[in-house]
Amino acid sequence: MGYIRGDNMETFLNKKDRRAYEIIKKIENSDTNEMKVKTIASELGLSEHKVIEIIQALNDDLVTDEHQDKFDVYINEVGVLVKKSNFSSSFFLMYFLRRSIYYHILDDLFYSRIISLEEYSDRWFVSKATMGRHWHYLKDNLEKYEIKIIKRNNKFQLEGSEEIIRSFYFKLFKISQLPIKGVSGEVEELCRIYWDVNEEMSQKSIDDFKVMISIIYLRLTQGKYIARDKEYFYLKDEMPKNNFFYGKLTSFYQDFSMKEEQVTREFFFFTFFLRTNLIISKSSLSVSGVYLNSAIVTGPYFTICSEIIDTVKETYNIKMEAEEYFYLLVNLYMMIRKKEVYGELVDFVDHRYQTAIYKKFIDKLPDKLLQHASITTYQLYVVIFPLLTKVQEPLRLMVISSLGDHYREIIEKYLDVFMGNAIVYVRQLIERPDIILSDTFYEAGDIPCIYMPIFPNTVDLQYSMNQVWKIIIEKRKNKD
């Protein structure tokens, strides 16, 4: 299972684990498998002894919890940390979050359990004063998302916009990957129907749907409803008609004895979530059911999106076809609406987009986009990324395997999926490949060679593809 990375959620890790997670990210973002302890210590304002102590403690924890395959960092004679090829900060965010005191409090608040600070003190072996500081820390950080912890009828509960609370817990549960408890069989049936009518749906979409509909179910059982009018979640003119799933979804809401107006609010919120949850690909635009109607095309959103697109084209010298322009228009509109509804929660970092490439994107971005009121730089990056990495000519790639041609062909099939762009596989150096991928050490003069382990897992493949993109982007930069 892929681990979800969300850097804004590291706030809710225990203090000791927040420090360890900072070190993890430093190692992950290094260009090689090595990073000096001295460098990490200097960049994080720690002593070298403290860095070594944190790493050793983490290794001990992982061995105890039988997760040693996720992390293998050691200190050699010159003070270098070495990571495993399947190393990922996403796993550690999940691992740290699950053992965080803040996560357990948030979990109790979600399930509307009775909360006692004295009981927490005993359970976590901390003093009442320390527990009080934890409590205030959690409250202060939740308020950044306009969520408050209040006490009503001698019971702690969350207060804030319901769409924000649901979105917050969606991110929290996606990162922790712990199952949501107490959902009814009706939720499972609704998930099954949704999958049946969307056969081409990715596993991520399936998982996301189940998490959000489970959150909605449990919030509704607690009497927590969407208060915003349907216009707040407006995306398109028409509601689905003659659709078996949407009929079942309407019945699902009606089971909570809501008035028709409230059913409509809930319906609009959930469809807003589904439509803005993923970037709409160019290939699926024609069948996605998402379009820009006349009201939007002639309104302020069209002006904002058009200005952003024109700036991006000029800044990155992108030759844009009509299909790509429409792709940007639709997705920028979705991103802007998403920010209007979710606020600061929109910048939920996706682990597929690498920090090094993102920084290069930011460095070139003009101030009017860096400080844009309608969209964040990360949202913009996610939408623009497919066009930035567009290869005008197919990439000429040579795969070399010590296990022979059959194994090489298997790897090439996987690479086609991970690359996302046209690839021409060449067999000999005389054909001048752009890049070589090999599971053994290989030198070919000025042709870059990237090492890929024998029997690579998905993380290995993704890492290799990231290295390929770094080379492509650097070559393109040199041409410019």
Between CA 472 and CA 462 the distance in angstroms is 15
Provide the H-helix boundaries in 143-224.
162-176, 185-197, 203-221
| Sites in the chain below the pLDDT cut of 50 | 1-6, 288-289, 349-354, 391
**Per-residue pLDDT tens digits for 221-260:** 999 999 999 889 988 655 555 577 888 888 899 889 899 9
> Against a cut of 0.75, is the pTM above it?
yes
Between CA 9 and CA 349 the distance in angstroms is 10
Count Cα neighbours of 255 within 13 Å in the Cβ-side half-sphere: 12
| 3 state SS of 82 | strand
What pLDDT score does 393 carry? 64
What pLDDT score does 211 carry? 94
**Per-residue pLDDT tens digits for 298-315:** 778 889 999 999 998 888
What pLDDT score does 480 carry? 54
Beta carbons of 399 and 412 less than 8 angstroms apart:
yes
What pLDDT score does 423 carry? 82
What pLDDT score does 166 carry? 97
- Kindly state the helix (H) or strand (E) to which residue 36 belongs, with its residue range: strand 34-36
Beta carbons of 408 and 397 less than 8 angstroms apart:
no
What pLDDT score does 417 carry? 65
Give the number of residues written for the chain. Answer: 480
C-alpha closest to that of 293 among 338, 333, 243: 333
